Amino acid sequence: MARRHDPERRDRIIDACLDVIAEHGVAGASHRRVAAAADVPLGSMTYHFEGIDELLYLAFERFSIQEAAHFERRMHAATTFEEAIEAMLRITTEDVFDSQRDLILTHELYALAARRPEFRELCHRWMGRSRAALERQFDARTARILDALNEGLTTQRALDTQPWGTAVVVDAIQRVTRSRQPPSPRPDDGSPSPAQSR
C-alpha cells in the first residue's frame, strides 16, 4: 500500500503532545497516547523524534514561543507609558492563564524546569522575551519586577478558590510603576532651569 503523503504530520504530533500534557500531565504523555491524539501510526513517533524527551522539549518550546509572542504583541502596541500600564493590566487579567489548558501547560513546564536544565533554559528565554518587551516602556529593573509580579499575580488568581477582581492587580502595577513614571515634559517658556539660575 502506498504511503500516505502527510507533510504536516510532525507538527501535528507536537501539537497533539501539548493536548496530551494538558489532559494527562507530562507523566502521562506516552508515545501511544500522543500518536492516538495526533491520529498517526505509533511508528511515526520514533520516525520523527529520537525519543519522548525530544518531543516534550519541542512541544514546550512551541508553547513558550506562542505565549511570548502574545505578550510581545500587547506590549509593542503600547506607545505611551499609560498604554503600557493598560497592556500590563490586560496581560495579567485577560491573557495569561486565560484557559485551564494554559495554566496546566505552564506549570507542567515549570515542574520540568525545576529538575532539568534544558527546560530551565526554555523558561529563561521566555522570560527574556517578556522583559525585552517590557523594556520598550520601562527600565530594565522595573521590567524584571513587573515580569515577576505578573507571574505571581496570574498564578494566584488562577489557583485561588475565590474570584479576583482587577482592583488588586491595578494597585500592584501602580505601586511598582508609580515612582518610575517618566517625568512630564516641562513647557519651554524660556525661563531658566534651577541649575541655570544658580
Quote the pLDDT of residue 5: 57
- The candidate with the shortest Cα–Cα distance to 118, out of 181, 45, 64, is 64
pLDDT in tens, 108-156: 999 999 999 999 999 999 999 999 999 999 999 999 999 999 999 989 8
Q: Are residues 102 and 39 both part of a single domain?
A: no
The SS3 call for residue 116 is coil
Q: What is the pLDDT of residues 69-103, one digit of tens each?
A: 999 999 999 999 899 999 998 988 888 777 889 99
Q: Please give the Cα distance from 130 to 49 (Å, whole number).
A: 29
Distance CA 147, CA 22 (A): 24
- For the chain, the maximum distance between any two Cα atoms, rounded to a whole number of angstroms, is 92
pLDDT at 191: 44
The domain tally of the chain equals 2
Q: Is residue 115 part of a domain?
A: yes
* 60 touches 122 (CB < 8 A): yes
| Helices within 42-166 (DSSP H only) | 43-48, 52-76, 81-90, 100-113, 117-134, 140-159
The answer on 151 and 97 residing in a single domain is yes
Does residue 192 lie in a domain region? Answer: no
Sign of CA dihedral 133, 138, 144, 148: negative
- Residue 13 domain boundaries: 8-49
Type of residue found at 136:
R
CATH number at residue 34: 1.10.10
Whole-prediction pTM: 0.82
Q: How far apart are CA 71 and CA 125, in angstroms?
A: 13
